[in-house]
């Protein structure tokens, strides 16, 4: 299993890293649209839809993102007139932020069912589209900066895993994800804070105070953990172990980006507020 995971991870890196650094912005948007399509197909499994309906859902989501990239090149940074802070973009990010920061704690506590109707479809549309849009827009800051944002979720996962194994005693959400502990969550926060302070120094980022920077890091880490818990809960409710088996050893696309779907839209929202809406 470990060998399979390593091989799959290396193949993904070999495909994605050159694309991240060298693809034109419009083609990057289309590549991510394809990934979103796969994620939507997997979301259909969480909705307990039939295979044919899931395929239509995946094609529809990918096509929708591709359409947006064609009709709104200014928004995705594929033209000389970059306008990332349009009203509908801010609305999408704002809704996603309210979903993760406001609604999700109650959802996890009450263990609401996603259902297979319109509500479940709309939730998937919000989460996947806001993630696609954030990954496209944030890439305009540079591939290294986007990787730095990715690393927040990666550092949180790694720190939580090792601190949980070493010190974990108190379960975080035993009915949702028995392996997660409060000690692991604390380790994730500490790991991200250390990483974030070093990244702030490396990028010479001083537009906000250190206190606000640390508070933002704690918020993003908490949202990362919540995103992971949310997908775990949905998979348990749907009776599946992984969102799919399209990535051998790793499961599905949603299994790999569960933390990114929660953190990237919030990061993009904070970025727009800081750089474009400040007085």
Per-position DSSP letters for 39-59, written without gaps between them: HHHHHHHHTT--HHHHHHHHH
pLDDT at 205: 75
Range of the domain at 227: 2-275
What residues does 177 pair with on adjacent strands? 173
CA distances from 80 to 24, 120, 124, 275 (A): 13, 37, 31, 18
The stretches of the chain forming alpha helices (DSSP H) are: 2-22, 25-46, 51-71, 73-76, 87-98, 104-110, 118-138, 143-167, 182-202, 210-238, 253-275
Q: At a CB cut-off of 8 Å and minimum separation 6, what does 46 contact?
A: 114, 120, 124, 234, 235, 237, 238, 240, 243
Considering its fold, how many domains does the chain have in total? 1
pLDDT at 257: 82
Q: At a CB cut-off of 8 Å and minimum separation 6, what does 11 contact?
A: none
pLDDT at 277: 66
- For residue 34, count other CB atoms closer than 10 A to its CB: 13
pLDDT in tens, the chain (279 residues): 556 666 766 777 777 888 889 999 999 999 999 999 999 999 999 999 999 999 999 999 999 999 999 999 999 999 988 999 899 999 999 999 999 999 998 999 888 988 888 999 999 999 999 999 999 999 999 999 999 998 898 899 889 888 988 888 899 888 888 888 999 999 999 999 999 889 888 877 777 788 888 899 999 999 999 999 999 899 888 888 878 777 766 678 888 888 899 999 999 999 998 876 655
Q: How far is residue 30's CA from residue 148's CA, in Å, rounded to a whole number? A: 22
pTM: 0.92
Q: How far is residue 47's CA from residue 53's CA, in Å, rounded to a whole number? A: 10
Q: How far is residue 196's CA from residue 72's CA, in Å, rounded to a whole number? A: 33
pLDDT at 243: 82
Q: How many residues does the chain have?
A: 279
109: buried, middle or exposed (CB in 10 Å: 19+, 13-18, 0-12)?
Answer: exposed
Q: How would you classify residue 142: left for phi > 0, otherwise alpha for psi between -120 and 50, otherwise beta?
A: left
- For residue 161, count other CB atoms closer than 10 A to its CB: 16
- Nearest-CA neighbor of 195 among 155, 223, 161, 164? 155
pLDDT at 13: 79
Residues 130, 92: contact at Cβ < 8 Å?
A: yes
């Amino acid at each position: 299993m470990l060998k399979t995971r390593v091989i799959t991870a290396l193949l993904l890196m070999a495909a994605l890293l050159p694309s991240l650094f060298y693809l034109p912005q419009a083609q990057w948007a289309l590549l991510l649209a394809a990934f979103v399509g796969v994620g939507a197909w997997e979301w259909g499994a969480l909705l307990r839809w039939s295979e044919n309906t899931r395929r239509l859902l995946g094609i529809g989501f990918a096509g929708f993102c591709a359409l947006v990239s064609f009709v709104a090149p200014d928004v995705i940074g594929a033209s000389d007139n970059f306008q990332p802070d349009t009203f509908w973009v801010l609305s999408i990010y704002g809704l996603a932020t309210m979903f993760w920061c406001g609604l999700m704690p109650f959802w996890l506590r009450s263990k609401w069912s996603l259902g297979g109707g319109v509500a479940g479809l709309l939730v998937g549309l919000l989460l996947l589209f806001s993630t696609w849009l954030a990954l496209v827009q944030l890439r305009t800051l540079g591939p290294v900066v986007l990787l730095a944002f990715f690393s927040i979720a990666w550092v949180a996962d790694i720190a939580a895993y090792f601190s949980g194994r070493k010190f974990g005693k108190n379960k975080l959400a035993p009915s949702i994800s028995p392996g997660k502990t409060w000690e692991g969550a604390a380790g994730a926060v500490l790991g991200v804070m250390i990483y974030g302070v070093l990244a702030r120094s490396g990028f010479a980022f001083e537009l906000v105070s250190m206190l606000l920077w640390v508070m933002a890091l704690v918020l993003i880490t908490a949202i990362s953990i919540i995103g992971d818990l949310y997908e775990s809960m949905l998979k348990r409710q749907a009776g599946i172990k992984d969102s799919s088996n399209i990535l051998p050893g790793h499961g599905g696309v949603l299994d790999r980006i569960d933390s990114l779907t929660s953190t990237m839209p919030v990061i993009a929202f904070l970025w727009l507020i800081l750089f474009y809406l400040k007085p």
